[in-house]
Amino acid sequence: MARLQNDSQTTNPVLLKIDEDAGHSGGGPYSAYQIYSDADAFALWQTGHLDYQPKEKGEK
């Protein structure tokens, strides 16, 4: 991750998800739905979707 950050030409965040229990053939505890939903939420946050922006302290 440090090398990826160092070699990047941007200051934008990068999503790197590692499932240490999956092994070489997959089959870890994360389902495909969880993986895709994390990637979708990250993309919506980065593109400015209002429902995916950080809330101010005390805001619901």
Instruction: Calculate the dihedral angle through the C-alpha atoms of 53, 41, 15, 12, rounding to the nearest 10 degrees.
Output: -30
Is 29 a member of any domain? yes
Is 57 a member of any domain? no
Is 59 a member of any domain? no
Which range of residues forms the domain containing residue 34?
Answer: 2-52
Is 60 a member of any domain? no
C-alpha–C-alpha distance, residues 46 and 20, integer Å: 26
Under 8 Å between Cβ of 15 and 23:
no
Is 46 a member of any domain? yes
Please count the structural domains in the chain.
1
**Structure tokens, 19:** 């499932």
Is 42 a member of any domain? yes
Confidence band for 28, pLDDT divided at 50, 70 and 90: low
Instruction: Pick the range with the lowest mean pLDDT from 10-14, 17-21, 28-32.
Output: 28-32
Is 58 a member of any domain? no
| Higher-pLDDT residue of 15, 48 | 48
